[in-house]
Structures are given as C-alpha cells and as structure tokens.
Structure 1
C-alpha cells in the first residue's frame, strides 16, 4: 500500500492547560526557517531654511520624530496597545498642518530633528526562504506550544524512498540590501529647505520567531539590511564576517568543498554614486559576481554576516553623511 506522506508528528514533549500558540513555517513576518529581520533607525538630521518665511516639513508617519528645539515639546511618538500601533502627537498646533504631521522651520533657522523607527513600529525586512533540493518537504512546517513548552509539531514528509537525504545545509543568504538615496529620503520640492547632514545608528534585529521554547537553532547568512548611498558606515557590532564578494566567490565554494568554475569574469565599469565603504571597512573595487544557485549580479560590495542563532541577535552600525 502506498505510504501517506502528508505529515508526521513530533513526539509529544509536554502538555499544559495553558492555551496553545501555533507557529506555521513560513509565517506572516518570517521565512520558512522562522527568521524575521526588523530594522530600527535612530537618525539626527540637520536642516536649514534659507527662506525669509517659515516652512512646514511633512514627516512619514512610519517615523517617530522629535524637534531639538526649546523644550523638545514638538514630537510624534508611536506606542503599542494590544498589538495595535498608535501615535501620540504633542503640541498638535505646531506638529500638524492640513492634518499632516510634521514640523515648522523658522526663517533662516538651522534645526536638528531626530527621526526614529522603534520596536513599537519596526520595519520588517522580507526574508528569503531557505532552499534545499527537497523544497519544504523533509522539514518542520508547524510547531505548537502550551505555555513555554513545546507541545507538538508537524514534519512534512517526502514520499520518495529513492531520496535518502536532501543535501548538506550551508548558510544561505536570506536577504538583499535596500539602498536608500538622499533624494529619496528627503524628497523636498522646495529650494529653500536644505539638508546639511545626518548621523545615527541602524539596528538589524534578527529573531527566530517560532523558537519560543529556545530549543531550535538556525544557521544562515545575512547582508547589511539598509545601505545609505554616499554615507560613511562605521562601528559594526558585531563586526561583519566577510564581504558579499568573498561570500559568493570564495566562502560558499570552500564550505561546500567544491571547486569554483573557472570562467572569465566580465569587467563592470565603476558607476558614480554607487555605495562605497571606506578602506577601514571593506577594500576592493565594485564588481559583479554570481554563485551557486544565483544569477543575481551586483555592482557594489557590502558586508555579510554568518549567523548561528538560537532566539535572536542584533547587528548594529553607524551611518553619517555631510553635504
């Protein structure tokens, strides 16, 4: 009789009268190995109004902001209540106009404004699914907890006795960087308002969402989540493991014990405005690379981390730009 491979159940480890929580893999905010990446931002931006009259700058509500002026009473702050994001608006007469939230810059004033994306309203970076030759078969696709104890789960079976293994796991890259340009950050259609500089910190928070009991580990690679084009990038914590070029051209092949195919490499011209890191961070020229299972080509290099993670890890770095 043909075997049924719809699902196999993990051994019942514990039980409780506490209501159960079930996590499917993948989930709404995490990929098929449970990894969710959130970006938190804390930037101080210096603006100048060279007009002889005040200007009102509209702020994207995704960002909290505080105007560093007087008692810092001009601000909009997000907070969570029952998993719903709300915004607290201080001094609405000064921080709203035409029902938009933002701030005024007075004539000939230079002002510093703090922009933040916090854990109350974080930005989730889409995480690519981990791929094997068996797809999402031969892996756990659901786990269920009673309280903090693992209750049961589902392993998706593979109904092919000719396949004994699904390959050897290696740290696949699960994201690609989002490049942000100054004109996109500040699409100010006004010749009087100038952006003088910005400086701050970015945190990339990686969480193994279904690992509520703390028993599942994940092994993968991640790239720097956000690249601020033209900005200086320093103070990586922890320091990155390698560059994307090194990951694709050397690490993956060496980790798999395979010889990289010898083929002539096309020469890509340097493109003005491409992301560059200082010599103290990443050295080398912008190149186009490819690797096993990927035909993606990039014209700039960037940091990559190899991560072995239980519940969570934070990656942080400092960015600064001056006009």
Structure 2
C-alpha cells in the first residue's frame, strides 16, 4: 500500500513575540506544528540564537571565547563584537556581577553596563539577572527603565518577584517579560497566569521553563517541554502558548565535563572541546523539544547551531 502522509499541523499556534527594534528586530514563536516539524507546515519564524556576555568581562571565559573578543576592553565593545558573531540573532547581557555572594555590584554600577550595551548595539537585547531573587527584583526592574524604547526581554521574572519585574518591564516600560519556572509544566502555567492577571499581555511574555545540561536529569526537561507544546497546540491552552527561550550557556559550561581540567581528567580530552560539545548537544536537544530561542556563548557553538537550524528549516 502507498504511504499517505497526514498533516500534523494544529488549529492552535504559539504566540508570536517580537523583540528588538527596526530592521534588526526578531520574532520567535508563531508555529502551529511540533518543534522542527516543517514537513507538516511551514515554520515562519525559525529558532533564534543569542550570545551571552557578562558584566564581569572575559576573565573566566574559555580560551576560544577570549580569542574571539581579543582587543575588546569595555562591556560595550564586547557587546558589539557579540552582535557581530556569525550566526547570532541577539545579545544577552547577564548581570552576574550583582550577585551578593560574588562581586556584589550595586544596581547603579550594573545600570552603567546596561546603558553602555544598549548604546553599543542595534540588535535585540535580552537582560538577565544574577539569580539572586532579592537582588534581581530591583536590578531587572531598573534595567527595564534604562532600556526603555529598545523592546528588550527582561529575563527572568520568577514567582517570588514577578509583580515588581512584571509591572516594570511588561507594563511601565513596555518590555518583554521572561517567565522563569523550574522544569514543571504546572509552575510554568501558573506564572503565566499570574503575569496575565497582573496585566501583562500574552504577546509580551516568553517562557524560560528551565533546562539542564544533557545527561543531567535532561529527561525532565524533555518531558516538560513536550507537555508544554502538546498542551499549547493540541489542547489550545492559551496560558502555555508563549514561546520558550532557553539559556543554555550557563548550564552547559558549569558541569564537570566542561570544567574538569585536562590534568585532572586527561582521558576526557581537550577541555574546551568538551564544553563546546555540551553546549551544542544541549542546544540541539532543547530546540528539538520546543525551545524557540537558545542563548549560547562560544563562537563554535553558535556557528554549529546556526547551521543546524538552517538545514532543519
């Protein structure tokens, strides 16, 4: 018998969210098929790639990352170089220097970095905090103000601080809000509901449902993203139809395979190549599970995932 293929497109679709300004603005979401299922229906907005940079500079970065930014001495110069990285669609500034357990920079110091990056680039910008809830509430609300008019994504609002960040980013300054939950479909939906009740429009919300490096409980990531997309498309659940953005770099470069030195683990081979492998593997996996954008940092990883997306689309 001949094979008769059936379309797997749905009547529901993922929301389209646009961030950035002018000709360089990008759109994520909008698809009405499962991740990368271009054979069922066209996917107008291919997944996007962001490049993560830190307000702490390049001191702790892998050799290949440092080499790419050679000659850059300010955060503005680093941001501009990141925006030019082949395969990149946007820049993500992580304000990790604000961490009270680290450099403990003041909000004012961090806002100088935000302003410098905003002035240096014309590509879309994502601004991430330091992962300290108490500090991020103030930090990200102020960042939304400093970046006013640039249509940035403020990543991320959590259940503990969504009111302040959501009100500042999604309402007062008309930015996009990243809703961050911990690899649980119910928590993801609840946070979307809370932000919607606050008054943030669904078109201004993206989800960061959490991730892990491949091999580190990644099956939970797979099941969560699969369930989110299935509910959004198959059940037309409007509270789960926000596109997903996934910060891969933090997870991939902070596991033993990427961090163990060649002296300690000579049988594992080149340390930097291991980190790239973890970053590429994790990024490819979350894209296959439903992420609409990934945030990476190594030039080789960005180029590899960019090529993958182009060939899959």
| Higher share of residues assigned helix | 2
- Structure of greater Rg: 1
TM range (shorter): under 0.3
Relative to the length of structure 2, the TM-score reads: 0.21
